[in-house]
Amino acid sequence: MTEKELSMNYEQLLKKFTVEIGNIERKPKQNRLELPTPEIQWIGRKTVFRNFSQFPPLLRRETNSVLMYLAKELATAASMDGNRAIFIGRKDKMSFGVLLERYFKQTVECPVCMSPDTKLDKVKRLQFLICEACGARSSIGSR
């Protein structure tokens, strides 16, 4: 084959490839872990997170760890009362959803394969996220 024929075949293959790629339906990536909507109500000057107890088992994290993260991010004191969490002060309803999504991205979701099947491992003073799906090990503080 001559050089011209080779380049023509290459161009034809490239055009065919781009047409085929264009025909593939791209589905939006769905996370298989769906977090429920936080149910928030205000009682006086306190914010009650009514369905808080649903989140730690879904995230596979300790209740106290999730509660302390929310309290720290909201800059307030928090406590458990049965299945609900109570925060001092009137906090915005949307902030709980945003903070739980951020907690999920930082301390639950694997940065390599995006799997929620992870566990935490503490070595000295550092925490590592170990993915049970792909085996990746990443530091939580570095993300």
The per-residue pLDDT for range 67-126, each reduced to its tens digit, is 999 999 999 999 999 999 999 999 988 999 999 999 998 888 888 888 888 988 888 888
The model's confidence at residue 49, banded by pLDDT at 50, 70 and 90, is: very high
Predicted local distance difference test score (pLDDT) of residue 142: 44
Q: Look at the pTM and tell me if it is higher than 0.75.
A: no
- Strands 118-123 and 84-88, bridge-based pairing: unpaired
CA nearest to 65, candidates 114, 111, 119:
119
Q: Which fold has domain 33-108?
A: Defensin A-like (3.30.30)
Rg (CA), the chain: 23
Cβ(74)–Cβ(67) below 8 Å: no
Helix, strand, coil percentages, rounded to 5, for the chain = 40, 20, 40
Residue 6 has pLDDT above 60, yes or no: no
